[in-house]
Structure 1
Amino acid sequence: MLASILIAVVALFHLAFMYLEMVAWGQPLGRKVFGTSPEFATASKALAANQGLYNGFLVAGLVWGLALGESGFSVKVFFLACVIVAGVFGAATVSRRILYVQAAPAVMALICLYAGL
């Protein structure tokens, strides 16, 4: 049960990231969250939307795993691992904050999943 709650939280985070990158990137909220200027937001809008789409795929995979219940164990593991890898890469290349916001919740969910919590 705890693992499912944490997986749902990770999915909600990525749904929010998708919104911020695909819809709000050039708006004040998106620029504030990502610390970008209006000029940068305009120039990088397509890249951000592409990144948002990938976050949407992570959401879809996590929700799919949850919908499968216990038989979705391997789906959950795969998509949580994808989130963790993306979070570690983002922390190494963009901001250490990504490690805490993206990778850490997925690690906690994965640990709970393997522990049967």
Structure 2
Amino acid sequence: MNIAADIVVGLVALLHLYFLVLEMVLWDKPAGLKAFGQTLEQARASKVLAANQGLYNGFLAAGLIWGLWSGAGGASIKIFFLSCVLVAGVYGAATASRKILFVQALPAAIGLALVALSMRSVT
């Protein structure tokens, strides 16, 4: 179960690194415009806010990577950062787009469940 948990945590971390790139680098480029369904004018007007949001996604990825790097002792780190991702995903789904529930919150919830199950199998 621990391997499955670490794979999901790693995928969530990679997903948030992808969000970082989309929001900090590609926001006003074709890939960013398509991903977020906005016009070039909208993207230019919100570019600084998007970069800030991308930075936060990078922090989430860094925390998850830290948890993975910490080995067996990193379970609480993984739980904390996956919980942050889950809360952000639920909030984003409620305020911005329901799609965020499936793209961000669901993978975090699966990761949380797997980390919790892997902790139970160790004890």
Q: TM-score range by the shorter chain?
A: over 0.9
Residue in 1 aligned with 2:30? 28
**Stretches of 4+ moved more than 4 A in 1?**
none
Residue among 12, 16, 19 paired with 2:18: 16
Q: For structure 2, list consecutive stretches of 5 or more residues without a partner in the other structure.
A: none
* Deviation of the 1:15 alpha carbon: 0.5
Residue in 1 aligned with 2:64? 62
Identity %: 58
CA distance in 2, matches of 1:7, 1:89: 20
Post-superposition CA distance 1:17-41 (Å, at most 9, x none): 0000000000011000000100000
Q: For structure 1, list consecutive stretches of 5 or more residues without a partner in the other structure.
A: none
* Deviation of the 1:70 alpha carbon: 0.8
* Deviation of the 1:99 alpha carbon: 0.3
- Compute the RMSD of aligned alpha carbons: 0.8
* Deviation of the 1:6 alpha carbon: 0.1
CA distance in 2, matches of 1:19, 1:7: 19
Residue in 1 aligned with 2:105? 103
CA distance in 1, matches of 2:5, 2:84: 16
SS at match of 1:26: coil
* Deviation of the 1:108 alpha carbon: 0.4
Q: Output the amino acid matched with 2:70.
A: L
Q: Output the amino acid matched with 1:115.
A: L
CA distance in 1, matches of 2:10, 2:71: 12
Residue among 83, 104, 112 paired with 2:114: 112
SS at match of 2:21: helix
Residue among 91, 94, 109 paired with 1:92: 94
TM-score between the two structures when normalised by the length of structure 2: 0.94
Residue in 1 aligned with 2:55? 53
TM-score between the two structures when normalised by the length of structure 1: 0.99
